[in-house]
Chain A
């Protein structure tokens, strides 16, 4: 079967750095997405990785290792508005998105 694993919940302090991990086992691989979802709202696109390495976009960076079936989302200079769930999703060989359940990130002052 296809599986995406992420921690259920993480807590971090405002101004700090946090890394949210995602491991996956899917039928084929056509890229990995990270989405942010605030409570009661729709997911919004953050990043996409298809090649190994780090993609940086402002305070957010995403890393991929295809050989390890592993990705992480790195959030720097945390702000209170970063409190949200972060969903990892992998596009499989059929170009379907397989979603993780999300990591709820709690930011404390």
Chain B
């Protein structure tokens, strides 16, 4: 059974056209993360929510926003996608943020910007 679900799996958008990626989880985890991963690179943390508390990484561009309306769902909004935003976007969850807690990943959304 899928535990972290991402939709869509593939998303094509045009330069500058807003796009929203969604993530849902059935694990009832407190923490939800959004990562950006480009080919052959490490995943880059954009931000995370601990419950309703939003934690933005210092180097995440303002073009990226997130919403978490409830425990199960989290959204990534890219307000004006540029060509450099083409990447795999990974959603992950964890029970909390203490040592040793595993992050569980969804299948990812591959974003193409035309």
Contacts and interface: CB of A to CB of B under 8 A. Distances in A.
B102 A97 contact: no
Interface string B70-101: 00000000000000000010100000011110
Contacts of A42: 4, 90, 105-108
Given A40-B110, A42-B90, A42-B108, A48 B42 contact: no
Interface of B: 4, 40-45, 88, 90, 97-100, 102-108, 110
Contacts of A102: 40, 42
A48 B107 CA distance: 21
Interface of A: 4, 8, 30-31, 33, 40-45, 48, 50, 87, 91, 95-97, 99-102, 104
A101 B42 contact: yes
Contacts, number: 50
Interface of A: prevailing SS: loop
A44 B105 contact: yes
A95 B97 contact: yes
A101 B41 contact: yes
A45 B99 contact: no
A48 B40 contact: no
Interface of B: prevailing SS: loop
29 contacts: A31-B100, A40-B108, A40-B110, A41-B108, A42-B90, A42-B106, A42-B107, A42-B108, A43-B105, A45-B102, A45-B104, A48-B100, A48-B102, A50-B99, A50-B100, A87-B42, A87-B43, A91-B99, A91-B100, A95-B97, A95-B99, A96-B45, A97-B103, A99-B42, A100-B42, A101-B41, A101-B42, A102-B42, A104-B40
Contacts of A4: 42
Nearest to A98: B42
Contacts of A44: 105
B54 to A, nearest CB: 15
Contacts of B105: 42-44
A100 B42 CA distance: 5
Contacts of B41: 101
B78 to A, nearest CB: 19
